[in-house]
């Protein structure tokens, strides 16, 4: 084999002088192009029959809410690790899990696998999924995303963007990378092969740096289809991959922002004191009497201004009110006719009320005895004389009210009817003598 890793020269041809870059490089007979450097060779117990010489241990803390679940699945974890020569301990008092090697352990890397196992259990990965880390072809990666953004609301929004609606984005990422991905709290736990873990870390970091994961998913889908074609193995794939350019969209300026003032190296002028303002107006040297007088004048001046403003508003309101049109002479006459009709209706109503009262009194008189009727007539006549005397004492010739007239009619409807007949008879006799 040549120094640059190629096949050795055929025949006994002399080689040219070595370059300074490869001066001390020697041929490696165990290294050639047919070796897959990424292949994981199997490590069995026959490769290390003596076991491990030193004891190694790791301890990982777990949150309080995982305590109940870990108690339920811990017997399964102990049995799985015991087959590899690892002892597991669960300390509920201090809240940590511990793994350490025993004399039965023969794989030197199994303690690292056991450490990753308890890390995944502390990160809320289910126990059946976490036990797959003990296989040689499965690795894990814990990506901490809490410190990538400073704003809590922005952090929650971008973490939800990584999950996608109903977990669709996360499911697509798992199918394309062949890894198990769990987003929990401030970290992302991933399990799978090394190539898939590298892609998952790239997508997660770019998502938290405000680059949408759908761009990576589209690129991986195109690469997956191109890898199926053997003719495209030696060609450049850049012309098939999408080129997403970042667009600087101008954000709207928030309202209420003031324009920045021009910078000046000089400080602003000093604000005047209250005493300086009083000195400028001359009030500083005035006496108390003059100050009170000035205050009264200012108060009167303000009152006068307010009065003028009120008067202006009142005049403005009066102008704005609609003015009713003046009626013509025909309207006046119609109104006068309406008033006369109203007076006549009131008079007719008063007479009808008086006649009703008289008829009621006459109906009542039919049910009274002569003695009771005489008592009622006497009381009503006394009330009429008393009211008439009051009017004379007041010196006013006030006509009797309709109620008095009705009372008189009521009083004359009973016993007064006989006295009226007697008076008419006397008058007829007097006329006959004449």
Q: Tell me the per-residue pLDDT of 307-362, one tens digit each, with 9 for 90 and over.
A: 999 999 988 888 776 655 555 554 444 445 577 788 788 777 777 766 666 666 66
Cα-based distances in Å from 431 to 419, 423, 427 = 19, 13, 6
Which residue in the block uniquely carries the two structure tokens 């009017």?
391
One domain, residues 84 and 97: yes
End position of a domain, from candidates 108, 136, 164 = 136
Residue 355 belongs to a domain? no
Q: How far apart are CA 84 and CA 98, in angstroms?
A: 15
Query: What pLDDT is attached to residue 3?
Result: 42
Overall domain count for the chain: 2
Nearest to 163 by CA among 215, 209, 207: 207
One domain, residues 161 and 130: no
Containing 190, the helix (H) or strand (E) segment is strand 187-192
Question: 3-state DSSP helix/strand/coil percent for the chain, to nearest 5?
Answer: 55, 10, 35
One domain, residues 188 and 129: no
Classify residue 415 by burial, with Cβ atoms within 10 Å: 0-12, 13-18, 19+. middle
Asked whether 179 and 190 are in contact (CB, 8 A), the reply is yes
Name the β-bridge partners of 191.
140, 180
What's the start-to-end Cα distance of the chain, in Å? 186
What is the token pair recorded at 408? Answer: 């008189």
pTM exceeds 0.85 for this model:
no
One domain, residues 167 and 131: no
Q: Tell me the per-residue pLDDT of 228-284, one tens digit each, with 9 for 90 and over.
A: 888 888 888 888 888 877 776 677 767 766 777 888 888 888 899 999 998 988 888
**Helix or strand or coil: residue 396?**
coil
Whole domain around residue 116: which residue ranges?
A: 51-136
């Amino acid at each position: 084999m040549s120094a640059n890793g190629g096949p050795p020269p055929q025949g006994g041809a002399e080689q040219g002088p070595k370059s300074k870059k490869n001066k001390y490089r020697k041929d490696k007979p165990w290294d050639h192009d047919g070796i897959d450097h990424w292949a994981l060779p199997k490590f069995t117990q026959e490769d290390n029959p003596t076991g491990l010489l030193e004891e190694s241990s790791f301890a990982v803390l777990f949150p309080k809410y995982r305590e109940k679940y870990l108690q339920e699945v811990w017997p399964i974890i102990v049995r799985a690790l015991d087959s590899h020569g690892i002892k597991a301990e669960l300390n509920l008092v201090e809240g940590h899990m511990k793994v350490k090697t025993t004399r039965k352990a023969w794989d030197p890397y199994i303690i690292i696998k056991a450490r990753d196992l308890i890390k995944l259990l502390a990160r809320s990965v289910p126990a059946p999924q976490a036990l797959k880390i003990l296989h040689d072809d499965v690795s894990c990666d814990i990506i901490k995303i809490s410190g990538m953004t400073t704003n809590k609301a922005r952090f929650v929004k971008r973490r939800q963007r990584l999950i996608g609606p109903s977990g669709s984005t996360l499911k697509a990422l798992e199918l394309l990378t062949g890894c198990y991905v769990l987003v929990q709290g401030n970290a992302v736990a991933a399990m799978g092969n090394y190539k898939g873990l590298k892609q998952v870390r790239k997508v997660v970091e770019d998502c938290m740096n405000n680059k949408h994961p759908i761009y990576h998913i589209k690129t991986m889908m195109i690469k997956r289809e191109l890898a199926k074609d053997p003719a495209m193995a030696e060609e450049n794939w850049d012309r098939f991959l999408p080129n997403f350019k970042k667009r600087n969209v101008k954000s709207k300026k928030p309202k209420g922002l003031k324009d920045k003032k021009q910078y000046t190296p000089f400080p602003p002028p000093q604000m005047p004191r209250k005493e300086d303002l009083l000195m400028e107006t001359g009030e500083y040297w005035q006496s108390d009497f003059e100050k009170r007088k000035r205050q009264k004048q200012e108060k009167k001046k303000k009152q006068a201004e307010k009065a003028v403003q009120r008067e202006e508003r009142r005049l403005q309101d009066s102008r704005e009110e609609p003015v009713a049109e003046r009626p013509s002479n025909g309207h006046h006459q119609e109104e006068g006719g309406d008033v006369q009709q109203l007076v006549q209706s009131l008079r007719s109503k008063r007479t009808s009320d008086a006649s009703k009262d008289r008829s009621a009194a006459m109906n009542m008189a039919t049910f009274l005895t002569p003695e009771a009727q005489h008592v009622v007539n006497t009381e009503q006549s006394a009330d009429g004389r008393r009211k008439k005397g009051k009017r004379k004492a007041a010196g006013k010739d006030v006509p009797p009210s309709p109620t008095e007239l009705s009372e008189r009619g009521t009083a004359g409807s009973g016993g007064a009817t006989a006295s009226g007949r007697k008076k008419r008879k006397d008058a007829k006799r007097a006329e006959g003598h004449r």
